[in-house]
Homo-oligomer: A and B are copies of this chain.
């Protein structure tokens, strides 16, 4: 269990000292994996002019929290770079990883319908965030983009439920790798080569299996020539086989 000081996002790495405050439109988002899909940008025309990306972009280090369960929920966060995990701690002190969020995702959506965060969310590596305080959205007049993001997130949860209810270890692992591959494909990043930012323990917890099974399953995939693994580094040799192993997807 991670324990450290900062609850609120930490120092602003972009050190905008002396810069004039720039509006989102002026500040370049060209290097962002979320360009064209970023919720903040999509909401921008409806966002109060007080909002300046520059002063709302922060860097947090690995193991530092963005927010914790029960903290007052006031902001959404867009992951510009890096990755985080959100988790819940159960009564008996066990952790349950609810989700991994990679560059391009939004976290803290729970703030929209609750005054407290439900999960705790912590950086898995050095991570850059764009913070969007809810104040900047006109009086909770929620817009289509937000509902769409919420709905996307519900669809992902449903997929996870299918994985947990129906699939064996191989199927879960393959699905997990494909989640990342698909995310990368959707964000102009290599879809068959990436580094995992989370530990085997986190993966096991997320997929509802033992850490040893994660290890063995990856080994099996490697032996079959489906992937190459070296610790955190993953290279997918044959995406189609992985899809086959993952099996069951929603038919639409």
User: B-contacting residues of A (Cβ < 8 Å)?
Assistant: 69-70, 88-92, 94, 96, 98, 109-110, 112-114, 118-119, 140-144, 147-155, 157-158, 160-162, 164-166, 205-208, 247-252
Contacts and interface: CB of A to CB of B under 8 A. Distances in A.
Given A164-B165, A165-B164, A91 B154 contact: no
Contact of A205 (B69, B142, B148, B165): B165
Given A161-B160, A208-B164, A147 B249 contact: no
Contact of A150 (B144, B150, B249): B150
A205 B147 CA distance: 29
Given A69-B252, A150-B150, A157-B154, A162 B110 contact: no
A151 B90 contact: no
9 contacts: A91-B251, A110-B151, A113-B147, A113-B148, A113-B150, A113-B152, A118-B151, A157-B158, A161-B161
Contacts of A165: 96, 164, 205-208
Given A90-B162, A118-B155, A164-B208, 19 more contacts: A90-B166, A90-B251, A91-B248, A92-B248, A96-B162, A110-B151, A112-B150, A112-B151, A113-B147, A114-B148, A114-B151, A119-B158, A142-B142, A142-B147, A150-B150, A157-B158, A157-B161, A164-B164, A166-B208
